[in-house]
Amino acid sequence: MKISVIIPVYNQIIFLPAALDSILRQNFSDWEALIIDDGSKEDICGVVRPYLVDPRFHYYRLEKNNGVSAARNFGGAEATGEYLAFLDSDDYWLPEKLTEQVAVLASSGAVAVYTDAFFAEENGILFKKSLKRQYNLKHLPAGHLYCRLLEHNLITTSSMVVSKKIFDYLGGFEANLSLAEEWDLWLRLARSNHIAVVDKPLTVYRVRPVGLHLNNAAMARANEYIIAKNFMPPVPHCLSRKQALSNCYLNIAVANLIRYERAETFKYLWHSLKLFPWRPIAIMIFLGLFLPQRWLMALLRVRDRWL
């Protein structure tokens, strides 16, 4: 079972070697790595050149920056593996990631498999909390995940391995989306496919200051578009369209609350409450606007139990 690893790169030279080294350290060897230079201004080729002595590495340079979705889709079109894995250039993997995912794919009949993920600081130091702990879950879910994904995007891009055949059938990532593009693809995938999980943090997602910058209006528009595009007729135990949108606005409010941007927090909290009023977490966030910083951090540590 051959895995094609797709690594889109736009500048960010400093992090790329760690990503590529983590592929080399995999204890699964039947892979190819496609490095897609999305019109970078930095010398990506110079960083990549030493890796190209291994014939499993391939480097492609796109003449202009088309965005991460288009770069990943280009890699998918060039890939020769049965399955595609995605690795963002500032993330990295633990050595057993692909081995464990291939084993689950072989035994489960699923078309895709993801892993839990650690969060790391920009310097690579791991936080204690994984994605599973962030959402206060004992186990990450598997199966038909449409309803779960409508509530929260539990799948980091760098943790996913998906059938190339299914990826091609779905049309890959929507090239016009530059925010939440992976959530859109996972929702489309989950509508009629089984997604498996390796319930271990084998992916490391690097949290960087630039990644914390939030264009609130753009994120809201992307979320509104994705929900309108992917919402299925009412399904038992699934969020309504209004509840799903309310969740999205609430997440934007939380992101602004963390940065103590009160006006933006209140704006998106109000959008959320208009659609789905009297949620306990919304009341907590409102009260958080008036708390000292250290109390606010304590509040945020329990917020995920209510989302």
Residue 12, CA distances (Å) to 21, 70, 157, 245, 303 in order: 15, 18, 17, 33, 32
For the stretch 99-146, pLDDT in tens is: 999 999 999 999 999 999 999 888 777 877 798 988 889 999 999 999
Task: Name the domain boundary from 154, 181, 206.
Answer: 206
For the stretch 81-97, pLDDT in tens is: 999 999 999 999 999 99
pLDDT of res. 304: 46
Percentage of the chain with pLDDT > 70?
93
Task: Name the domain boundary from 206, 233, 250.
Answer: 206
Return the structure tokens found at 117: 């993920």
Which residues lie closer than 8 Å to 115 by C-beta, 6 or more apart? 97, 100, 101, 159, 197, 198, 199, 200, 201, 202, 203
Q: Which domain holds residue 219?
A: 212-304
CATH number, domain of 118, equals: 3.90.550.10
Domain count, the chain: 2
Looking at the fold, whether 126 and 196 belong to one and the same domain comes out as: yes
Looking at the fold, whether 35 and 62 belong to one and the same domain comes out as: yes
Looking at the fold, whether 40 and 152 belong to one and the same domain comes out as: yes
Looking at the fold, whether 43 and 190 belong to one and the same domain comes out as: yes
Looking at the fold, whether 113 and 175 belong to one and the same domain comes out as: yes
Looking at the fold, whether 36 and 68 belong to one and the same domain comes out as: yes
- Nearest to residue 12, comparing CAs of 43, 53, 56, 49? 43
Looking at the fold, whether 138 and 36 belong to one and the same domain comes out as: yes
| pLDDT per 10-residue tile (average), the chain, 307 residues | 98 95 99 98 97 99 96 99 98 98 96 96 78 88 95 95 99 94 97 97 83 72 92 82 89 81 88 85 78 69 50
Task: Name the domain boundary from 142, 172, 206.
Answer: 206
